């Protein structure tokens, strides 16, 4: 199999450039949900992105309804893209937690404040890897997932589920969301998007370096433990050989003493001649 000529990250960057060139602010504003018709606006967004991917000559598989990763294996190199269109600063992931193998295109339709127009946030596109949503949240996410597993084991699966009375049942699921206010250019809580992106990248690299350092320390500890184990085995072997040597020596010494004793017992008493 031929090695891909570019990484998913590199291809995603090219798609970003194409989208910024072909998606206007007017189009973004036009996708704002009207009369709660969310599906219609989402279809418009998906259709537009399909046109861009097709125009770039990229292959892809589309996800089924209500499934994550709207565009899968883009370009045949394992790039997965999820599209999020939002009229507010909060986006919903439902029960699919963002991860490193999913790249996100967020279409924010803008927000206007009638009484405080200085807080207005313009329509815009955001491009990011799933890991960027998880910065500073990794620890409590682990705890939350652990608690959810306890809930599932208690009420939704296994023997405990069979013990529940009545005809109704439940299956608890996460609903993951993210407030992207700090990622938006012009948001009241934001800084310049590129600066924020650089900060996220630095945090990601620091986290990666931390993981690598932990792995290195683990490898070094394993190496030292293995070396100590070999040394202990070597010393045990040496002690075993020394004990065997001493036992052999004691055996020879005992044999000598037995022989000397036996010789003395067999020596005849000389007869006196008159």
Rounded Cα–Cα distance for residues 78 and 128 (Å): 16
pLDDT of residue 261: 77
pLDDT of residue 270: 60
pLDDT of residue 165: 95
Rounded Cα–Cα distance for residues 137 and 144 (Å): 11
How far, in whole angstroms, is CA 131 from its chain's centroid?
8
What are the distances in angstroms from CA 237 to CA 225, 229, 231, 249? 18, 12, 10, 18
List the pLDDT tens digit at each of the 274 positions of the chain.
Answer: 556 689 999 999 999 999 999 999 899 999 887 765 666 778 889 999 999 999 999 999 998 777 789 999 999 999 999 999 999 999 999 999 999 999 999 999 998 888 888 888 889 999 999 999 999 999 999 999 999 999 999 999 999 999 999 999 999 999 999 999 888 887 554 444 455 566 667 777 887 888 889 889 999 999 999 999 999 989 989 988 998 899 899 888 888 888 887 766 665 656 656 5
Task: Evaluate if pTM is beyond 0.85.
Answer: no
pLDDT of residue 189: 46
Rounded Cα–Cα distance for residues 207 and 263 (Å): 83
What are the distances in angstroms from CA 214 to CA 29, 31, 138, 180, 202? 46, 46, 16, 31, 18
> How do beta strands 79-86 and 103-108 pair?
parallel
**Could you report the per-residue pLDDT of 93-138, keeping only the tens digit for each?**
999 999 999 999 999 999 888 888 888 888 999 999 999 999 999 9
Rounded Cα–Cα distance for residues 123 and 111 (Å): 7
pLDDT of residue 257: 84
- The 3-state DSSP class for residue 165 equals coil
Please give the full DSSP string across 92-110, using - where no structure is assigned. Answer: EEET----TT-EEEEEE--
pLDDT of residue 187: 56
105: left (phi over 0), alpha (psi -120 to 50) or beta: beta
């Amino acid at each position: 199999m031929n090695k891909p000529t570019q990484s998913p990250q590199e291809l995603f960057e090219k798609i970003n450039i194409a989208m910024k060139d072909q998606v206007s602010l007017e189009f973004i504003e036009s996708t704002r949900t009207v009369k709660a018709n969310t599906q219609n606006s989402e279809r418009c967004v998906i259709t537009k992105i399909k046109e861009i991917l097709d125009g770039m000559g990229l292959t892809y598989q589309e996800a089924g309804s209500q499934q994550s990763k709207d565009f899968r294996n883009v370009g045949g190199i394992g790039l997965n893209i999820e599209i999020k269109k939002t009229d507010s600063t909060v986006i919903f992931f439902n029960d699919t937690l963002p991860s490193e193998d999913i790249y996100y295109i967020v279409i924010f339709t803008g927000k206007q404040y009638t009484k405080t127009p200085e807080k207005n946030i313009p329509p815009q596109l955001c491009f990011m890897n799933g890991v960027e949503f998880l910065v500073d949240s990794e620890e409590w996410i682990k705890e939350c997932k652990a608690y959810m597993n306890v809930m599932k084991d208690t009420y939704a699966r296994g023997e405990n589920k069979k013990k529940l009375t009545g005809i109704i049942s439940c299956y608890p699921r996460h609903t993951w969301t993210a407030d992207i206010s700090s990622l938006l250019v012009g948001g009241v809580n934001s800084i310049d998007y590129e600066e924020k992106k650089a900060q996220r990248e630095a945090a990601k690299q620091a986290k990666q370096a931390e993981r690598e350092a932990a792995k290195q320390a683990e490898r070094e500890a394993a190496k030292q433990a293995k070396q100590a184990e070999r040394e202990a085995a070597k010393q045990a072997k040496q002690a075993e050989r020394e004990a065997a040597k001493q036992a052999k020596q004691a055996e020879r010494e005992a044999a000598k003493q037995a022989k000397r004793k036996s010789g003395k017992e067999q020596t005849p008493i000389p007869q006196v001649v008159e």
